[in-house]
Amino acid sequence: MTATVQGFAAVTGSATLTVGGQTVFLSLGTGNKLKENTSQTQFLMAWVVNAVDSGGNPVNGITITLTIHSKYYNKGTWQDSAGKWKWAPLAGLTGGYTIAAPGCANEDLNLNGVLDPGEDTSGTGNNNGKLDPGDIALAVPGSVVTGTANAATGDVATAGAATFTVNYPENHAMWVTSTLTATATAQGTETSTSTTFQLPILADYLTSDAISPPGYVSPYGVATSCTDPN
């Protein structure tokens, strides 16, 4: 199944490195469509990473590592509005229907996946004994090579490019904002580029109020404060 994304625009990012004296530009990008897995439990978001030189020519054969971490999460519900659904993060956190509102910060301050001292405390989190929101999305595969076919998706990448997907549970769509990072090393020089985006939802789920969208209530609760675990 393929459909457009509600309130979502293409996301891009770029960075540069030097390979044997040659400047190389890395960029991340996506479109405005989502797919679902066969069980309709995950959204699959297609991405591409490009590597080009200063003349705009493709640079093949660069291995790029992909990582994705949660940055923010939101509380709230979807609300019925004139027969359709509107995303309704709590006004006390985000100020209404604003897309990509920051919400509550990731409690995993050093992004190591371990509940360390000073994390999830009353000053940095909701003190519920776990790290919220946790890492929700996956980059599949976690490493790609420009100019080669992507076995995970079956797509044949153009020269200097590689494709991959970002996968995440459908009930977390819109409630989590993530940062995707692409990192490459060439001739001993490491470079990376990152982009931050809200995990989108299929517009098909929002056009009728007859069926609730996935994640009708935020997995992180409806309390009006980030320090409240409810």
Question: Pick from 139, 152, 146: which is nearest to 180 by CA?
Answer: 139
Cα–Cα distance, 93 to 214 (Å, whole number):
21
Tokens of 185: 């090393």
pTM across the whole model = 0.82
Tokens of 186: 């060439």
Tokens of 69: 């971490």
Please state the length of the chain.
Answer: 230
- SS3 at position 115: coil
pLDDT of residue 94 exceeding 80: no
Run of H or E including 91: helix 91-94
pLDDT digits (tens, 9 = 90+) for 136-157: 999 999 999 998 555 566 655 5
Higher pLDDT, 170 or 184: 170
CB 106 within 8 A of CB 71: yes
pLDDT digits (tens, 9 = 90+) for 158-177: 788 999 999 999 999 999 99
Cα dihedral sign, 9-158-166-24: negative
Q: Which domains does the chain have, with CATH numbers?
A: 2-74+136-206 (2.60.40)
- As a whole number, mean pLDDT of residues 49-70 equals 89
